[in-house]
Amino acid sequence: MAFTSSTLTSLRGIVDGACADQKSGIPGATVVIVGKDGKELFAHSSGKRGVASKEPMSLENIFWIASCTKLLTGIACMQLVQDGKLRLDDGEQLESLCHELRDVKVLRPDGSLEDKQNAITLRMLLTHTAGFGYTFFNERLRDWAFPAGIDEFSGRFDDMKMPLLFQPGEGFEYGVNVDWAGIALERVTGLKLNEYLQKNVFQPMGITDMSMIPTESMRSRLAYMNARDPDGSLRPRDHLLRVPLVVDRDDRAQVDQIFNSGGGGMFAKPQEYCKILAMLLNNGTCPRTGAEILRKETVDDMFQNQIPQFPNYSRQGIPASKPELTLPIPQLYPVEGDPPQGWGITFMKSNGGPTGRSKDTAHWAGLANLWWWCDRENGIAGMVCTQILPFADRNVLQLWGQVEAVAYMGLKEINKL
């Protein structure tokens, strides 16, 4: 399967056009699209490495992929589930591994705390139904943390210790849940999350440019972080996840102190991440190396709707409780007719959409405006990467939608040949 020259020209034009205006457009972007066989259908970078750089963006640049990390943590946890080392619905096992969760409190709307009534399970963590949130997405949690506040990107484990927003299992709230799943993985395996992923996911797939503690080579190719002001103009800003970028990699004690965030700690070259998506398209087996990362039935389970009891979970909206990090989001991925929404293991199930994707398509995002999608029915997946804050940038959302729509038109052209 290969896109026609007209499709490739259209895709390159869309990406180049999105990055043409360096003052109020997108400073730089990388877009990669892959098929089930692992071959790249499209890979293109445009613009600059950042507002503060004159260097062109290239396919070799490294991005902080933020919450795109969650899929990787989910894959790792599901490896342990299929091997019987972790159990999705065993609250006793989970809270024995993460003893801190036994006594976590629930933050009431009035700001008071109440005791937790239900045990937290791994499935709850992987589906954001345990009750944890993010301070930048939830005003109640933000206000509870005053005056010192909470920095979920500090590189400190202690910043994961916060109250729940409801009793476990009784709602949906996007937050540090998957970070706790990563902690459970570390404690059952005795490995740091990054080490586990390198050994059991990345190395078998031939992935080298993906790490929570970037190598010197990765650091030298890091895309710059940018901010968009309310007037739409762009400016450079400090990196949000700074500690892994400045730690002395040769000092094991320093490295071991850095919290491996299963919810947002990964740095990656987009082409490497898309190898993960191709593996999912190929039912858990890496099409390039032949390594079985997950069994097909495990991938099938991951793509099942885990929360049918919350069919409108993303329609509750997300406020801009920290405007420097996110814009207000009325609804995640609206679909005409408002069909029931679904959530798999760490990702949203979109139930179709305007671009041509199937109803079984998975997708999710990263805070610095990165988006991926994975359509097993049509055998196509892709990723749009930028490094812009705050989240939900209109320009990047438009780019993602245009890229995906042209990709599906390109599929139709291929099927006609």
pLDDT above 90: residue 175:
yes
pLDDT for position 136: 98
d(CA 323, CA 337): 30
So where are the chain's domains?
5-77+191-416
169: tokens are 């299992």
pLDDT for position 329: 96
Pair 368, 380: CB distance under 8 Å:
no
**Got the DSSP string for 360-380?**
T-EEEEETTTEEEEEETTTTE
Buried b (16+ CB within 10 A) or exposed e, 95-119: bebbeebeebebbeeeeeeeebeeb
212: tokens are 């929570």
pLDDT for position 350: 87
d(CA 232, CA 393): 10
pLDDT above 90: residue 83:
yes
pLDDT above 70: residue 417:
no
Strand pairing class (226-228; 388-389): parallel
| Burial of residue 302 (number of CB atoms within 10 Å: 0-12, 13-18, 19+) | buried
Pair 184, 252: CB distance under 8 Å:
no
d(CA 341, CA 322): 26
**pTM, two decimal places:** 0.98
Query: Distances from the Cα of 388 to the Cαs of 127, 186, 220, 232, 240, in angstroms?
Result: 26, 31, 19, 12, 11
pLDDT for position 415: 83
pLDDT for position 289: 98
Per-residue pLDDT reduced to its tens digit, 270-299: 999 999 999 999 999 999 999 999 999 999
- Nearest-5° Cα angle at 126, 352 to 269: 75
pLDDT for position 54: 96
Residues in CB range of 260: below 8 A, 6 or more apart: 182, 186, 192, 193, 194, 212
pLDDT above 90: residue 241:
yes
Question: Which residues are 42's β-sheet partners?
Answer: 33
Query: Distances from the Cα of 387 to the Cαs of 70, 99, 211, 217, 393, in angstroms?
Result: 18, 36, 17, 19, 10
pLDDT above 70: residue 90:
yes
CATH number of 5-77+191-416: 3.90.25.10, 2.40.10.10, 3.40.710.10, 3.40.50.300? Answer: 3.40.710.10
Give me the count of residues in the chain: 417
pLDDT for position 118: 97
Per-residue pLDDT reduced to its tens digit, 339-353: 999 999 999 998 899
Closest CA to 176 of 141, 211, 201: 141
d(CA 385, CA 224): 12
